[in-house]
Structure 1
Amino acid sequence: MERTRHRNRLVAALAAAVLAATGLVAAASTAEASDAELAVNGGFEAGLTGWTCTANSGTAVTTPVQSGTGALKATPAGSDNAKCSQTVTVQPNSAYTLSGWVQGGYTYLGVSGTGTTDGYTWTPSASSWQKLTTGFRTGASTTSVTIYTHGWYGTPAYHADNISLLGPGGGPVEIPAAPTGLTAGSPSSTSVPLNWNPVPGATQYHVYRGTTRVDSVTGTSATVTGLTPSTGYTFQVTAANTAGESPKSASVTATTTSGGGTGGGLPRHALVGYLHSSFANGSGYTRMADVPDSWDVINLAFGEPTSVTSGDIRFSLCPVAQCPNVESTADFKAAIKAKQAAGKKVLISIGGQNGQVQLASTGARDAFVTSVSKIIDEYGLNGLDIDFEGHSLSLNTGDTDFRAPTTPVVVNLIQAIKTLKAKYGPDFILTMAPETFFVQLGYQFYGSGPWGGQDPRAGSYLPVIHALRDDLTLLHVQHYNSGPIMGLDNQFHTMGSADFHIAMADMMLTGFPVAGNQSRIFPPLRADQLAIGLPASTHAAGGHTSPAEVNKAIDCLTKKTNCGSYTTHGTWPALRGLMTWSINWDRFNQWEFSRNFDAYPWS
């Protein structure tokens, strides 16, 4: 959330990474006479047989070719790097040489799953056919590897021909058997953990809820999330490799618990707003007692750290010198109690534009828990809002799987919030207000390096949201101060329009594949966990949306009427409502935002 009148982050204007031109990686070994050619259809003489290309990005062409009559042409898009791959059986503890000829824009040739150090080589451009070569050694238990070639996001098409993998051969890849031993662990109100036995030859497992595939994993466990409380579900699992997918396992059933752990007490459709309690800006100071009854959740902005890495959070009312009409602390606390007596919820919001928080150590984590608890207890608050922005998660460079975070600032934040949730119990309200850059851009640029995108912070909220989804009362992504963002329709949508809000909400309610691994699906949130975050006026933030466009977005998401160019993947009448930055700016704008919310004909 911003404090000044004008601040636009051009976060979506992500340029292609500037990669240093280096020499090609030399082969680790020279092929022996006894080595076999293991790549299938490496010359693409049989079309794309044996190869799988992401997003239908590859095609077999007859010109240009390095030799023979066929070659691969693959065209990257803004959210796809045109990766074409195949999995090959190999021998453990053996040396291999991977090579291929490429032409065109950025082109990578590499291998993964070696059990040792995966390798790749690349060229930034090749006006004529150029050979790439790299070598690797397999691990003690490695029986298959995946070889691949890919380009770079949004760059010109590349061509590849005569892809070769030389080394000791393995047996033919066969479709694995169906998994056995599928069991369900203890369900929560919205999730069910599953486990099963490993299947020889399987490189991936697909999880089904009924007839719908809901997850794909490489291990032998998964947790299905986004479920409805007090509901029975049936699950099955299949095993897969490059030869195909096995039959489904025997089914297992589980019933979710009754829930109640995500901070109940909110109305079916709620209005959430931030109250500038600790600082002043052009919107003017608004006393707690003067907040209209329209607001169901009032987030106190902000609790801020004593330093970026201390974890020690402090909150105090705006100084009289800045806010001449500020109430006394006693009156402020009394007004909070009056709001709560009327059924309203009051939370402390941590962070904001200037309040950078990085819990990089366990000491900072514990200080965060202690200091936030002190604020909650002193003011008698109902819960916590996490409004980490900018560089608060900037150290997230190692988490390439949102399901298994390892970066300290992410892990410690998750642990701290879970500790607070456990301390205050099921009525504790937890909300989050991340920027689109840290959520939706995970669809395009999740992770770090050439596999995930140009900025490792893109999508860095995903591990936090996923780990806390069973504790989360509301997620209200900031649909403002953003550049164009790509939706699930692979089209860019611009803030301020109904289509932008529809596309961003649909992504969170439908689930979406993360960049770098299109089989890794970020599971959807429940509709009652989602509110749309909007600026209250043109002064509040970039991307103000007129009341008419706001109503169109709500119509489309909750009733599937009045939709624009974007086609949603469902209808969600339980959508919780709207969030705005801010109550102060809404007052400055003659309460246009809250009056429109009150007048809307919610079903």
Structure 2
Amino acid sequence: MSVTGKRYWRVAAVAAIALAASTGIALTSHADDTSTKDSSTAELPKHTLTGYWHNFDNGSTVKRLSDVPAEYNIVAAAFAEADASKPGAVTFGVSPEVSDALGGYSDDDFKADVKALQDKGQHVILSVGGEKGNVVVDDATKAANFASSVKSLMDEYGFNGVDIDLEHGINAQHMGAALKDLSSQAGDGLTITMAPQTIDMQSTSTEYFKLALDIKDILTVVNMQYYNSGSMNGCDGQVYAQGTVEFLTSLACIQLENGLSPSQVGLGLPATSQAAGGGHVDPAVVNAALDCLAKGENCGSHKPPKTYPDIRGAMTWSINWDATSDYAFAKTVGGHLSEMP
């Protein structure tokens, strides 16, 4: 996710083709695997919209958490920061710039707002990472520190869970151990989301994909970032340009046909053209992609091998950017998701 809301266009077609050639994209379907637990998402609707709330001021809007519209089922507070005193651990608090912009918005105000959203049925989770954040979990000690620090912040602020948005690389083994440890501490109902970049989910050999498969029994949803990407390989081996319905459906197909449940796959898009360096689409295009994946309708030139009625939904970067367009993304995509069977 871009803290500044502006990122350079990153053309990755060549890298993607090389990755696919070296590792292969197996299309053996595991989409009907019933081993995934539902307990971690029991309180969420079948189809969900995830959005990120800024704990910083980047020129979009500054909003109290309680201002988040009801269309957002999962609200990710962005971002937790690395704890310099304890490797692998993270910290969180309302930033001074947000507090000042709101005329004094305290941690206690934020905690009250977390409860207010939860009373309306929304989940509020803590996002770790972002474009500039770098939390390293690459050994057992750091994994334990990560789990204990996130659990402590969940207890303090009332968070429902955690979002993994680490864009500087992850270690699937140790982050997986950390999230399993967190799950054992938090119990059923823990919400775990991930927001990998497109290149991170091109093959099951990548660390992000390995992590998603390793924790699939406790994983809520992978909201891959279908933006700031350039062209990428789809599940049929063809290269698709970002900003199209075919890009969304063909890349989602890779996850859907390689081990994740449809209920664990979401489409992540920028709320506005200012929110990312590339990949923004009209919200109606997101709805078309959801229809294609769920019902085989409005697909464009690429049609996935089958339909996935349980497709989880969508994500946007971000709620604050969406506010600049009168919440067009939430109203259009969130409204559509609420009407999907």
- Normalising by structure 1, report the TM-score: 0.52
Q: 1:13 to 1:597 in 2, by over 3 A?
A: closer
- The alignment yields a C-alpha RMSD, in angstroms, of 2.6
Q: Is the 8 A contact 1:499 1:565 kept in 2?
A: yes
Q: Helix, strand or coil for the counterpart of 2:216?
A: coil
- Structure with the higher helix share, 1 or 2: 2
Conserved 8 A contact 1:280-1:323: no
- Structure 1, residues 251-275: CA drift from partner, whole Å, max 9, x if none? xxxxx69x43333211121111000
- The correspondence of residues 453-492 of structure 1 with structure 2, limited to 5 A, is 459-492=206-239
What is the distance in 1 between the residues matched to 2:106 and 2:19? Answer: 53
CA-to-aligned-CA distance 1:172-229 (integer Å, 9 cap, x gap): xxxxxxxxxxxxxxxxxxxxxxxxxxxxxxxxxxxxxxxx976xxxxxxxxxx65454
Q: Which residue of 2 aligns with 1:602?
A: 340
Q: Determine whether 1:284 maps to 2:28.
A: no
Answer yes or no: is 1:592 the counterpart of 2:328: yes
Task: List alignment gaps of at least 5 residues for structure 1.
Answer: 17-75, 84-211, 215-224, 230-255, 394-408, 447-458, 512-522
* 1:418 corresponding residue in structure 2: 180
The residue type paired with residue 530 of structure 1 is V
Deviation, structure 1 residue 330: 1.7
Secondary structure of the 2:61 match is: coil
Q: Could you list the per-position Cα deviations for residues 548-597 of structure 1 after superposition, in whole angstroms to 9, with x for gaps in the alignment?
A: 32222112111111111112111112111110000000001221101102
Indicate the residue corresponding to 1:316 in structure 2: 93
1:554 aligns with 2:290: yes
Cα deviation code 1:88-115 (max 9, x no counterpart): xxxxxxxxxxxxxxxxxxxxxxxxxxxx
Task: Name the aligned partner's letter for residue 70 of structure 2.
Answer: D
SS state at 1:356 partner: coil
* Aligned 1:70-149 pairs, distance under 5 A: 79-80=20-21
Q: Distance in 2 between matches of 1:289 and 1:321?
A: 14
How do residues 543-582 of structure 1 correspond to structure 2 at under 5 angstroms?
A: 543-582=279-318
| DSSP-derived class of the 2:269 partner | strand
Counterpart in the other structure of 1:526: 261
How many angstroms does 1:492 deviate by? 0.7
Distance (Å, rounded) in 2 between the aligned partners of 1:289 and 1:341 = 11
CA–CA separation in structure 2 for the residues paired with 1:586 and 1:417: 30
CA contact (8 A) 1:306 1:313 kept: yes
One-letter code aligned to 1:360: D
8 Å CA contact retained: 2:130, 2:166? yes
3-state SS, counterpart of residue 357 of structure 1:
coil
- CA separation of 1:370 and 1:482: change in aligned 2, threshold 3 A: same
Post-superposition Cα deviations, 1:48-87, rounded to whole Å, max 9, x if no partner, equal xxxxxxxxxxxxxxxxxxxxxxxxxxxx98843699xxxx
Deviation at 1:321, TM superposition (A): 7.3
Q: 1:494: which partner in 2?
A: 241
**How far is the alpha carbon of 1:309 from its aligned partner?**
8.4
Structure 2 match to 1:329: 107
Q: Note if 1:367 corresponds to 2:141.
A: no
Greater fraction of residues in strand: 1
CA contact (8 A) 1:308 1:357 kept: no
Higher relative contact order (CA 8 A, sep 6+): 2
Q: Which amino acid in 2 is paired with 1:577?
A: G
Instruction: State the partner residue of 2:155.
Output: 377
Distance apart, 1:598 and its partner CA: 3.8
Superposed displacement of residue 470, structure 1 = 1.1
Q: Which has the larger radius of gyration?
A: 1
**Structure 1 runs (4+) greater than 6 angstroms displaced:** none
Task: Give the deviation of 1:360 after TM superposition.
Answer: 2.5
1:322 deviates by 7.4
Native 8 Å contact 2:6 2:274 kept in 1: yes
Whole-Å separation in 2 of the counterparts to 1:377 and 1:543 = 37
SS of equivalent residue, structure 2 residue 62: coil
Q: 1:538 aligns with which of 273, 285, 299?
A: 273
Q: Deviations over 1:148-169 (max 9, x none)?
A: xxxxxxxxxxxxxxxxxxxxxx
What does residue 5 of structure 1 align with?
5
Q: Separation in 2 of the partners of 1:289 and 1:348?
A: 15
Distance in 1 between residues matched to 2:97 and 2:23, nearest whole Å:
58
Instruction: Provide closer, same or farther for how the CA distance between residues 368 and 501 of structure 1 changes in structure 2, counting only shifts above 3 A.
Output: same
**Normalising by the residue count of structure 2, what TM-score does the alignment of the two structures yield?**
0.90
**AA matched with 2:54:** H
Residues 386, 433 of structure 1: 8 Å contact kept: yes
How far apart are residue 363 of structure 1 and its match? 2.2
- The residue type equivalent to 1:431 in the other structure is T
After superposition, residues 86-485 of structure 1 pair within 5 angstroms as 226-229=31-34, 259-277=37-55, 279-307=56-84, 310-320=87-97, 323-325=100-102, 327-390=105-168, 392-393=169-170, 409-440=171-202, 442=203, 446=205, 459-485=206-232
- The 2-side partners of 1:343 and 1:82 are apart by 42
C-alpha deviation, 1:538, in angstroms: 0.2
What is the rounded CA distance, in whole Å, between the counterparts of 1:13 and 1:508 in structure 2? Answer: 18
Deviation, structure 1 residue 528: 1.3
Letter in 2 for 1:536: A
> Identity of aligned pairs, percent?
36
Distance in 1 separating the partners of 2:19 and 2:151 = 44
How far apart are the structure 2 equivalents of 1:480 and 1:213? 26
Alpha-carbon distance, 1:333 to partner: 0.9
- Residues of 1 paired with 2:303 and 2:137: CA distance? 40
Q: Distance in 2 between matches of 1:266 and 1:8?
A: 35
